[in-house]
Chains A and B, each alone.
Chain A
Amino acid sequence: MGIRSTVIAAAAVAAACTASAAAIPSRVAEGRYVTVELIAARQNAGEVWAAVRFRLDPGWHVYWRNPGDSGGPPRVEWAQLPAGWSAGEIEWPTPQRISVDRLVNYGYAGEVLLPVRLTLPPNSSAPRPGSGDGAIVADVRWIVCHDVCVPGKAAVGLPAGQIAAPASNEWAALIARARDSVPRPAPKSWRATFREEPEAFTVSILMDRQAERGTFFPIDESHIDDAAPQQVSVSENTLRFRLRKSDQLPATPSALRGVVVFTSGAAYEILAAGINAERSKSR
């Protein structure tokens, strides 16, 4: 399958590059060890969302925004959007810790959808979903890894008119589920701080209820040693992580950004302010 699908993917890319803007590449691209697909649908509240869907062969993974020790995240560029439309950033679903030998990566196995909100202009002269005008086309680049890694790229597209087509009911559900798996911002009442030690950062999260255990996923690269075990403790409403510093830490950060995934599966994005940094500032 490998060579043939590469040829097909390459042909899709070539077609997208040489054809006029009116040509729309295939919605689905077969890469090596991965199928890449573009879907889009209306969501509740009338918002229009697109998603790039990766379906991976068993044992293969793609990466989160911070890939961890190796690899790199998929990249999506919008080659075509109907006039007046704009695309937001990828909203990254909650990743998994993936151990490869003695390294740890953050990413996705099996299947993942990367949702992106599309903003339509308020004036109605612009193409609307279902009107038949315009297309959305994404240039997608990725690297998939098992024990070895294979990069790929493809252009995938669909006519804007398909957004309201019957198939998009299924797409709407897929996108809604993907958006549900994106970490929520931490409740405003929580207080997250970190303290720096010579070898580690201790992140404390004071919650508005009995704390539960979880896993910390650093959003910024090279802050913590991804492969080091996380020391997790819970005391009443406080969840604490002791995280070994990265050997590549450039300088003490003013804040540590991360996603906390609780054992219940709930995930929140937190921003921990540096306690030491605050003190030295006020001095």
Chain B
Amino acid sequence: MTRTRTVATAAMLLLILSGLAQAARVGEPAPDFTGTDSHGRTVRLADLKGKFVVLEWHNDGCPYVGKHYGSGNMQRLQREWTGKGVVWLTVISSAEGQQGYITADQADAYFKEKNAAQTAVLLDPKGTIGRMYDARTTPHMFVIDPKGTLIYNGAVDDKPTTDRADVTGATNYVSAALTEAMSGKPVTRSTSRPYGCSVKYGTTS
């Protein structure tokens, strides 16, 4: 790579990063967002104060997502935690034309077929919410407490593979964080490296 290109790349990255500087840090207020779900309803994080909120980044073509949906692991988590009052939002930030992009109608049929149990599916093809949280991979998980503070940012669990068999015996970080926070304890493992495919943001902006 030439020196000029390195400098140009660095300058570009710096520009991008200045916009992300305070992306989504554990212990700080979770960035507020307004999104649209697959039924056309507006979802605002600020309106969800008083509840635990889970954000799950999704791309149906990603084999790491396939591991958690193919094994039924993600649906089990959704069912368990929404059953305990958690608002579970599946966010799709794939840009139009990119892997994982899905229309509202397709999303409903697809998640029904998967027997999913999230509260809502947010369609984020411009990547606004994704960039706000610096969501890097699918899956990438965030947990927000009832005060609106981010309490977990990272992977689903501690087995960064695409093998369905690895779901058994894995330590699930999202469940661990919710369990601890619901019983008033600090979250022991509040960050981890999110593992998965890169989020398929649009190439511009």
Contacts and interface: CB of A to CB of B under 8 A. Distances in A.
Contacts of A102: 16, 201
Contacts of A70: 136-137, 195-198
13 contacts: A69-B137, A75-B161, A145-B197, A147-B99, A148-B61, A221-B193, A228-B17, A244-B17, A246-B193, A247-B23, A247-B26, A248-B153, A248-B191
A149 B201 contact: no
Contacts of B61: 148
A149 B14 CA distance: 27
A71 to B, nearest CB: 8
Contacts of B25: 247
B200 A247 contact: no
A201 to B, nearest CB: 16
B147 interface: no
Nearest to A100: B198
A59 B163 CA distance: 24
Interface string A36-50: 000000000000000
A247 B198 contact: no
A149 B153 contact: no
B160 A72 contact: yes
B195 to A, nearest CB: 6
A143 interface: yes
A148 to B, nearest CB: 5
Nearest to B23: A247
Nearest to B131: A102
Interface in B168-205: 189-201, 203
Contacts of B148: none
Contacts of A246: 193
A100 to B, nearest CB: 5
Interface in A60-102: 69-72, 75, 99-102
Contacts of A228: 13, 17
B162 A247 contact: no
A221 B193 CA distance: 7
- Give the top 5 A-B pairs by smallest Cβ distance, nearest first: A248-B191, A229-B10, A151-B162, A222-B193, A221-B193
Nearest to A228: B17
Given A72-B160, A101-B198, A247-B23, A149 B193 contact: no
Given A143-B63, A147-B99, A250-B191, A103 B197 contact: no
Contacts of B26: 247
Nearest to A153: B163
Interface size class of B (residues with CB under 8 A): 35 or more
B134 interface: yes
Interface residues of A, number: 29
Interface string A240-253: 00001011111000
Interface of B: 9-10, 13-14, 16-17, 23-26, 61-64, 98-99, 134, 136-137, 153-154, 160-163, 189-201, 203
Dominant SS among interface residues on chain A: loop
Contact of A148 (B14, B16, B99): B99
A248 B195 contact: no
A247 B24 contact: yes
B63 A72 contact: no
A227 B191 contact: no
B11 to A, nearest CB: 8
A77 B106 CA distance: 40
Interface in A131-156: 141, 143, 145, 147-151
B198 A248 contact: no
Given A141-B163, A149-B63, A248 B99 contact: no
B134 A101 contact: no
Contact of A101 (B64, B191, B193, B201): B201
Given A69-B137, A247-B134, A248-B192, A143 B162 contact: yes
B198 A69 contact: yes
Contacts of A69: 136-137, 198
Contacts of B9: 99, 229
A250 B13 CA distance: 24
A70 B199 CA distance: 9
Given A100-B198, A247-B25, 6 more contacts: A101-B199, A102-B201, A145-B198, A148-B197, A149-B64, A229-B17
B198 A103 contact: yes
A222 B137 CA distance: 14
